[in-house]
């Protein structure tokens, strides 16, 4: 009989790539398995966060530290969420999320001849950015940028 690893006993975390109108969200385990990846409007964010907390037992919410971070943090607190909120440095995360999205969705036909740098995603890829933020948190790459400003 196998025993569960300590990583499997830790609830997954919820990572959010905050934006003005929409947010990328991802539920990621300590073992880096992506359970959910989606893009939601800021208006629906509190409902999706409540769903993820209820379904997965999320205890930590990871937020990117740039555009919309303060507003999303305030929204989460106003909505009554008491989970720990950790900020992660977003430097180059959009560029890396774009690249990851394009690799996961290879083009068909002649478009496959284009280098990845010339390809254009066919939809927003904020959910891929959220996965990158989760991975940075798991790697211990938290941000002090917003903490200094007392968010």
Question: Phi/psi at 120 (nearest 5 deg)?
Answer: -120, 125
Residue with more model confidence, 31 or 4 = 31
Q: Please, is 73 exposed, middle or buried when counting C-beta atoms within 10 Å of its C-beta (0-12, 13-18, 19+)?
A: buried
CA pair distance 134, 60, nearest whole angstrom: 10
Q: Which of 54, 56, 68 is nearest to 26 (CA)?
A: 56
Per-residue pLDDT tens digits for 68-102: 999 999 999 999 999 999 999 999 999 999 999 99
Q: What are φ and ψ of residue 107, in 5° steps?
A: -75, 160
**pLDDT score, position 5:** 55
Domains of the chain, first to last = 9-93+124-145 (3.30.420.40)
Return the residue matching tokens 């930590």: 60
pLDDT tens, 44-66?
999 999 999 999 999 999 999 99
pTM of the model: 0.87
């Amino acid at each position: 009989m196998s025993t569960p690893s300590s990583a499997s006993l830790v609830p997954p975390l919820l990572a959010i790539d905050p934006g003005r109108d929409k947010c990328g969200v991802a539920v990621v385990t300590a073992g880096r398995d992506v359970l959910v990846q989606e893009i939601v409007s800021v208006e629906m964010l509190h409902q999706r966060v409540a769903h993820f907390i209820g379904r997965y037992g999320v205890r930590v919410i990871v937020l990117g530290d740039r555009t919309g971070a303060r507003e999303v943090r305030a929204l989460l607190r106003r909505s009554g969420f008491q989970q720990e909120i950790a900020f992660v440095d977003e430097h180059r995360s959009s560029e890396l999320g774009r690249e990851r999205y394009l690799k996961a969705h290879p083009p068909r036909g002649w478009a496959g001849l284009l280098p990845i740098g010339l390809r254009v995603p066919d939809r927003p890829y904020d959910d891929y950015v959220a996965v990158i933020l989760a991975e940075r948190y798991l790697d211990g790459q938290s941000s002090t940028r917003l903490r200094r400003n007392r968010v």
